[in-house]
């Protein structure tokens, strides 16, 4: 199964992968993950040199529908992994499973060798795996700054009785505020700090959600369609921020539909379709991959159509149209409408 989607290509390891990497030669220095991954074969379920997240046999069904069925998947530490696939491929469900928002029917998954199975979402977040949501969850009736401060971890003032002793948390609050303001400046939201988050535009909310996630000093950031609905100018700055995360040593997993974006920033791309991982590899490998093309466009989208076949299809279509008209005529005849009026219609 893993080698099957690759059949049109020779085993693309070693020199081939290295030549692809030379295209992005200037980026190679700043992309340790890309360098580490260059000798990894382009196979589904392939082992990575230094995996942060490992998924094993995770299956989630909703009634008869298998939303996710991933046999084996490893996510390289310190890299940007793009997760793509057609609508309904199970990308968001996989995110939900990995972060504890949903529980799989079976399977194990670990972060840094620690099993995350059965952990509540807040415990997963405390371990350093923080996610954002496809539909942005800005906390509308809190100010931008309050949104940010919520992201800070280990706050003494968040305990009920601790809250009543302002002396105990004021210093921590001040430090968190400084950190939040620095992040807001980076994301160009500092002038909005006292506005309600509900008054921000869609793109600004995406920025705020990402900045808020960073307040918790995460080790793995999972971004669910961070660019969806964001205008192109803002997309560029968002991309910059995502690359920054890698620079700071974070592991980034993101879902995205825009292939230009995926090609631009990801070190490794995982393609899902119908709940399964159907291909893995560096971004350059994906668009040539037959399984991926089939998943997106249908398996027979480019099968050549002969003249006879075309005639046959055309004839069948005409027959169907004729039959429908006949049925319609029948209905009209049975009513009180005189036959002459039919021609006008």
- Interaction of residue 120 with another protein, rule CB under 8 A: yes
Segments in the chain forming alpha helices (H) = 14-23, 25-28, 32-37, 91-98, 121-126, 144-150, 166-186, 202-214, 232-247, 259-265, 283-286, 290-297, 307-334, 340-344
Q: What is the closest distance, in whole angstroms, from the C-beta atom of residue 24 to another protein in the complex?
A: 33
Q: What is the closest distance, in whole angstroms, from the C-beta atom of residue 179 to another protein in the complex?
A: 14
Comparing CB distances to another protein, the nearer of 158 and 311 is 158
The number of helices, as runs of H, and strands, as runs of E, in the chain is: 14, 10
How, if at all, do strands 114-115 and 129-131 pair? Answer: unpaired
Comparing CB distances to another protein, the nearer of 156 and 241 is 156
274/220 Cα distance (integer angstroms)? 25
- Interaction of residue 201 with another protein, rule CB under 8 A: no
| Pattern 210-229, another protein, x by CB under 8 A | --xx-xx-------------
| CB 40 within 8 Å of CB 11 | no
Using the contact rule CB under 8 A, the part of the chain among 25-33, 77-85, 196-204, 240-248 near another protein is 196-204
Partners of residue 273 on adjacent β-strands = 276
User: Which of positions 142-171 make contact with another protein (CB under 8 A)?
Assistant: 142, 146-147, 149-151, 153, 155-160, 162-164, 166, 169
User: Which of positions 262-291 make contact with another protein (CB under 8 A)?
Assistant: none
Comparing CB distances to another protein, the nearer of 96 and 289 is 96
Residues whose CB is less than 8 angstroms from the CB of residue 219 and which lie 6 or more positions away in sequence, other chains included: 52, 112, 127, 128, 129, 250, 251
134/300 Cα distance (integer angstroms)? 31
Q: What is the closest distance, in whole angstroms, from the C-beta atom of residue 120 to another protein in the complex?
A: 7
Q: What is the closest distance, in whole angstroms, from the C-beta atom of residue 164 to another protein in the complex?
A: 6
| Pattern 82-111, another protein, x by CB under 8 A | -----------------x-x----------
Give the torsion sign (CA, 54, 280, 203, 250): positive
Separation of first and last alpha carbons in the chain: 57
| CB 107 within 8 Å of CB 59 | yes
Q: What is the closest distance, in whole angstroms, from the C-beta atom of residue 146 to another protein in the complex?
A: 6
The binder of another protein chosen from 16, 72, 137, 243 (CB under 8 A): 137
Q: Edge to edge, what strands does the sheet with 106-111 contain?
A: 65-76, 51-62, 106-111, 114-115
- Interaction of residue 173 with another protein, rule CB under 8 A: yes
Three-state secondary-structure class, residue 329: helix
* Residues that bind another protein in the complex, under the rule CB under 8 A: 99, 101, 120-123, 125-126, 130-133, 137-142, 146-147, 149-151, 153, 155-160, 162-164, 166, 169, 173, 196, 198-199, 209, 212-213, 215-216
């Amino acid at each position: 199964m893993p080698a099957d989607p690759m059949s049109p290509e020779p085993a693309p390891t070693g020199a081939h992968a290295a030549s692809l990497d030379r295209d992005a030669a200037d980026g190679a220095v700043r992309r340790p993950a890309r360098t580490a991954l260059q000798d990894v074969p382009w196979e589904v379920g392939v082992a990575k040199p230094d995996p942060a997240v490992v998924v094993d046999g995770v299956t989630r069904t909703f009634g008869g529908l298998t939303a996710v069925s991933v046999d084996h998947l490893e996510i390289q530490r310190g890299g940007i992994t793009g997760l793509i696939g057609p609508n309904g491929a199970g990308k968001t469900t996989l995110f939900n499973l990995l972060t504890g928002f949903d529980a799989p029917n079976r399977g194990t998954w670990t972060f840094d060798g620690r099993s995350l199975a059965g952990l509540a979402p807040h415990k997963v977040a405390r371990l350093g795996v923080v996610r954002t949501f496809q539909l942005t969850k800005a906390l509308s009736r809190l100010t931008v700054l309050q949104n940010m401060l919520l992201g800070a971890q280990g706050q003494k003032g968040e305990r009920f009785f601790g809250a009543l002793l302002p002396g105990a948390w004021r210093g921590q609050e001040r430090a968190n505020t400084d950190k939040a303001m620095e992040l807001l400046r980076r994301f160009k939201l500092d002038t909005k700090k006292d506005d309600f988050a509900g008054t921000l535009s869609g793109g600004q909310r995406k920025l705020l959600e990402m900045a808020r996630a960073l307040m918790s000093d995460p080790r793995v950031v999972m971004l669910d369609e961070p660019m969806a609905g964001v205008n192109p100018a803002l997309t560029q700055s968002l991309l910059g921020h995502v690359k920054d995360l890698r620079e700071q040593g974070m592991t980034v997993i993101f879902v995205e539909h825009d292939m230009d974006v995926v090609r631009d920033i990801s070190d490794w791309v995982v393609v899902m379709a119908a709940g399964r991982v159907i291909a893995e590899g560096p971004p350059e490998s994906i668009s040539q991959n037959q399984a991926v093309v089939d998943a997106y466009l249908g398996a027979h989208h480019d099968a050549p159509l002969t003249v006879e076949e075309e005639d046959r299809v055309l004839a069948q279509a005409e027959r169907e149209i004729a039959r429908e008209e006949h049925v319609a005529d029948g209905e009209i005849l049975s009513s009180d409408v005189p036959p002459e009026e039919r021609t006008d219609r």
